[in-house]
Amino acid sequence: MPRQRSPENRGLPARWQYAHGAYYYRVPPGLEHLWDGFKRFPLGRNLAEAYKAYAARVDAPDRISTIGALLDRYSLEVVPTKAPKTQTGNHIFIRTLREAMGKWPLTYIRPQHVYQYRDKRGGVIAHREIEVLSHAFTKAVEWGLIDRHPFKGQVRLTGEKPRDRYIEDWEVLECLSLPCARKRGSVVAIQAYIRLKLLTGLSQGDLLRLEPARHCKEDGIHVTRHKTGKRTIYTWSPELRNAVDMAKAARPVDLSPWLFCNKRGQGYINESTGEARGWRSMWQRFLTRLLKETKIATRFTEHDLRAKVASDAESLERARALLQHADSRTTDAIYRRKPERVRPVR
């Protein structure tokens, strides 16, 4: 009877181990010279580091016969091209998928298996895992491993209700009128941020990466979307210039290259992780004050602000252009949250 893997190693690639807070690769006997003489090679303290170290030493296999092997190649070749935060989530999803179906032949899976997996896992997390699995099979077609996707277009995942929180105009006024004793940082920086966000619809990552010297030019604010690489020019208006000037004045460090910076003049985005923890903490403190000191009773998110931009736009196409979505269906389904006004026939 084959030896069962310990719980902490289930879902990991073959010969991987998790021990003492790090991931290791058990080197096959006789191949130690390819792994710096190690019998157990240290890969990294998290899954993203481990896959990167593993990919640097192992070529992707030419022959892939199982879903587990497909997920391994997807982890090595596709996941590293994604944003750092997305990489972390993908590696966690892949580990769960590999544990559930890693030994299945590549051609075995059918739509009913996907539904069974969804029902067993449950919740939004199952949808995210199935999205990764589906993309892995899309890549399998591209790599010539299979002729067609086994369940694309045949599985309809329902139950994930779109968020419908719409920020009213009076709530925006409450945000912008929240008093602050200081003229720099904290509240005034977030108020300037909200003004810019409602004028442009830019995502948090793109707003926090703005550098006046690089992006603010004669004809407007030049933005290259961090997520998609699409380029947009937001032409100047008096309101937009005023919002940028307010953001500059709110900076705790005048000489910082960033439009939004911390007390040390550094930007908020950690490029290695894709996170902005300092900004997130400041944002949460701001929302806590709003609920205590204003008439606003329900919290809202960054995406709710973007949704207000899309909802208030005069047309769906205008909303799509502001948010720079490739498909207007995304804008309509997720970000247009005001009821549609329709004139009666008579």
Torsions phi, psi for 177 (to 5 deg):
-105, 5
- Amino acid at the residue 38: F
Task: Report the distance separating Cα 283 and Cα 186, nearest Å.
Answer: 9
Task: Report the distance separating Cα 169 and Cα 167, nearest Å.
Answer: 7
Lowest mean pLDDT among 53-57, 100-104, 190-194, 300-304: 53-57
Q: Characterise 282 by phi-psi region: left (phi > 0), alpha (psi -120 to 50), beta (else).
A: alpha
Task: Report the distance separating Cα 59 and Cα 341, nearest Å.
Answer: 57
Q: Which fold has domain 169-335?
A: hpI Integrase; Chain A (1.10.443)
Task: Report the distance separating Cα 141 and Cα 135, nearest Å.
Answer: 10
Per-residue DSSP letter, 59: P
* Total number of residues shown for the chain: 346
pLDDT value, residue 118: 92
pLDDT value, residue 295: 93
Of the pLDDT bands very low, low, confident and very high (cuts 50, 70, 90), residue 3 is low
The answer to whether 243 touches 195, Cβ cutoff 8 Å, is yes
Here the tokens at position 60 are 């992707």
- Domain ranges, ordered by start, for the chain: 7-142, 169-335
Half-sphere exposure of 108 (CA within 13 A, CB side): 12
The maximal CA–CA distance of the chain, rounded, in angstroms, is 85
pLDDT in tens, 14-51: 889 999 999 999 988 877 877 888 999 999 999 888 88
pLDDT value, residue 182: 76
pTM over 0.85: no
Q: Characterise 293 by phi-psi region: left (phi > 0), alpha (psi -120 to 50), beta (else).
A: alpha
Spell out the residues 6+ positions from residue 167 whose beta carbon is closer than 8 angstroms to its own.
Answer: 300, 304, 305, 307, 308
pLDDT value, residue 62: 55
